Amino acid sequence: MVFTAVGGSISYMINGLGVEGLPAYSTGYVNWLQWILLAGCSVPMAVVGAKTAHLLPARQLKYLFIAVMFYMGLKMIGVFSWLNLPL
């Protein structure tokens, strides 16, 4: 995964060089400010998620995961847009 991510990032940097209209702090199509903000939030929240997962019973965690995946599936299909729901 690391090699794929690095390879993809490098290709986005190279292919986006010289493109006008990109936000500040960008190298090609890679915006470093957004990367720092995303990584800065994701790493601490992964720790919080791991601790929370160990506190919940396995059955409850399984049902929570099923509910999240079901919601994401409906969201990807576009059911909420069809029904004009702001979810």
pLDDT tens digits, one per residue of 41-63: 999 999 999 999 999 999 999 99
Is residue 87's pLDDT more than 90? no
CB 7 within 8 A of CB 17: no
For the chain, the structural domain boundaries read 1-54, 56-87
Question: How many whole angstroms separate alpha carbon 9 and alpha carbon 28?
Answer: 9
Q: Alpha helix locations (H) across the chain?
A: 2-15, 32-55, 58-77, 79-82
Is residue 65's pLDDT more than 90? yes
Entry pTM? 0.62
Average pLDDT over residues 5-12: 95
Non-local (6+) Cβ contacts of 19 within 8 A are 28, 29
Question: How many whole angstroms separate alpha carbon 62 and alpha carbon 47?
Answer: 19
Across the chain, what does the average pLDDT equal?
Answer: 94
Is residue 86's pLDDT more than 90? no
